[in-house]
Structure 1
Amino acid sequence: MKIKWLGHSCFLLTSHNGVKVLTDPFDSSVGYDVPRVIADIVSTSHDHFDHNYIQAVQGDFFHANETGHFSHKGIEITGISVFHDDKHGTQRGKNIIYKFVVDGIHICHCGDLGHGLTLEQVNEIGHVDILLIPVGGFYTIGPDQAIEVAKMLQPSVIIPMHFKTKAIQFPIEGVENFLEKMGGERFGKQEVEFDKASVGLTPGVLVLEYV
């Protein structure tokens, strides 16, 4: 399975047999190049412009934008209801955490998670091999809460997202603070490949580079 970071919270997951999952596509106002790709599955964690621009996606795709359990082209999908803020959604609304099972690897995409997780939510999410988690703060959890969430979910690999880069002007932090507190390394590439064996051998935190 391959994971490619297209900027912000948008990743392209590609299974060994070519099934493609795109998470949280964004529009041109974000600053990164709009991810105009062909996908079989597109997930949108919530209806904000930097997470729901499905108009850019090509192909006949299954749109995951609800909670519950789904399956499409051999990919298992679970959507768990959480909030975009720490005031039970009263400030920024709801958010959906999606967990995908691709090639036997459990990938959890937190969307714009705005609070720590309850034990019930952790149980709903279940086993996680790879955690895609926001670390930039302001609109989402920041480095400290991201670390707490990671400790609760205990993934083998953590890939930070939704942080400040030269491409965007959002008032959020870069990834440096999270890396300093959590450890890890910059991968130096936009895409990384895993199988069940290599997930456990990868350093805990892996920062992909936007190209």
Structure 2
Amino acid sequence: MKIKWFGQSCFMITSQSGIKVLTDPYKKMLGYKLPEMEVDIVSTSHNHSDHNNINIVKSSFIHINEPGNFLEHGIEIKGVQTFHDKTSGSKRGKNTIYNFKIDDINICHCGDLGHLLNSEQIEKIGNVDILLLPVGGLATLNAVDAVQVMKQLNPTIVIPMHYRTKALGIVGYVFGKVDKFISASELQVKEYEELELNKANIKGYSGIIVLKYD
């Protein structure tokens, strides 16, 4: 499979058979630029404009936007309800974590998770091979809490998201840098333009993978 980051919480995950999954597409309110796309599945973790711009997709697609169990294009998807804050959603509302089983690899996208997980949520999420994790704080997990969630889910690979980058300009200063998470994690770090791996070689990529924004 291939994993490409488009900034914020937006990723394109492409299976070996060519099925494309797009997560949390954003509007142009951010410093990032998202091209029009043709994909098969779009997931949105919550209904905020920097995560729910499904209009960017110009093909027919399946939209997953709620908790539950789904099977689309041969991909198993589990949606688990969480919250955008530490007060059960009273400040920023609900958030859905999605665990996708693609090419026999479990990829967990945390959306704008704002709290540590409880035992029931951990059990529902299940096994995680690759964790797409917000680390920038403010409206999501900060670096320290992100490390705790990483330990709760125990993935082989962690790909940080939703943190300060140069592309965000002044807006980015409200978020922490990815360096804080890396330092707190004490894990090995590798950097790629795009990540390409399979079930056989995934352990060779273990640790933190920082994906570059074009």
How do residues 124-143 of structure 1 correspond to structure 2 at under 5 angstroms?
A: 124-143=124-143
How do residues 101-180 of structure 1 correspond to structure 2 at under 5 angstroms?
A: 101-168=101-168, 169-170=171-172, 171-180=174-183
Query: What is the count of residue pairs matched by the alignment?
Result: 210
- In structure 2, what is the equivalent of residue 196 of structure 1? 199
| 1:52 to 2:52 alignment | yes
- In structure 2, what is the equivalent of residue 26 of structure 1? 26
Between Structure 1 and Structure 2, the one with more helix by share is 2
How do residues 75-94 of structure 1 correspond to structure 2 at under 5 angstroms?
A: 75-94=75-94
CA distance in 2, matches of 1:52, 1:32: 15
What letter is aligned with 2:195? Answer: V
| 1:8 to 2:5 alignment | no
Residue 203 of structure 1: how far off its partner (Å):
3.0
Please state whether the residue corresponding to 1:99 is helix, strand or coil.
Answer: strand
CA distance in 1, matches of 2:149, 2:118: 10
CA distance in 1, matches of 2:123, 2:24: 23
TM-score (norm 1): 0.97
Please state whether the residue corresponding to 2:180 is helix, strand or coil.
Answer: helix
What letter is aligned with 1:57? Answer: V
Residue deviations 1:94-134 (CA, integer Å, cap 9, x gap): 00000100000000000000000001000000000000000
Residue deviations 1:150-196 (CA, integer Å, cap 9, x gap): 11101000000000001111411110111112133241x32111101
TM-score (norm 2): 0.96
- In structure 2, what is the equivalent of residue 61 of structure 1? 61
Among all aligned residue pairs of Structure 1 and Structure 2, give the percentage whose two residues are the same amino acid: 50
Where does structure 2 lack aligned partners over 5 or more consecutive residues? none
Please state whether the residue corresponding to 1:158 is helix, strand or coil.
Answer: strand
Asked whether the equivalents of residues 129 and 156 of structure 1 are also in contact (C-alpha less than 8 Å), the reply is yes
Please state whether the residue corresponding to 2:79 is helix, strand or coil.
Answer: strand
Q: List structure 1 runs of 4+ shifted beyond 6 angstroms.
A: none
CA distance in 2, matches of 1:190, 1:121: 32
- In structure 1, what is the equivalent of residue 184 of structure 2? 181
Where does structure 1 lack aligned partners over 5 or more consecutive residues? none
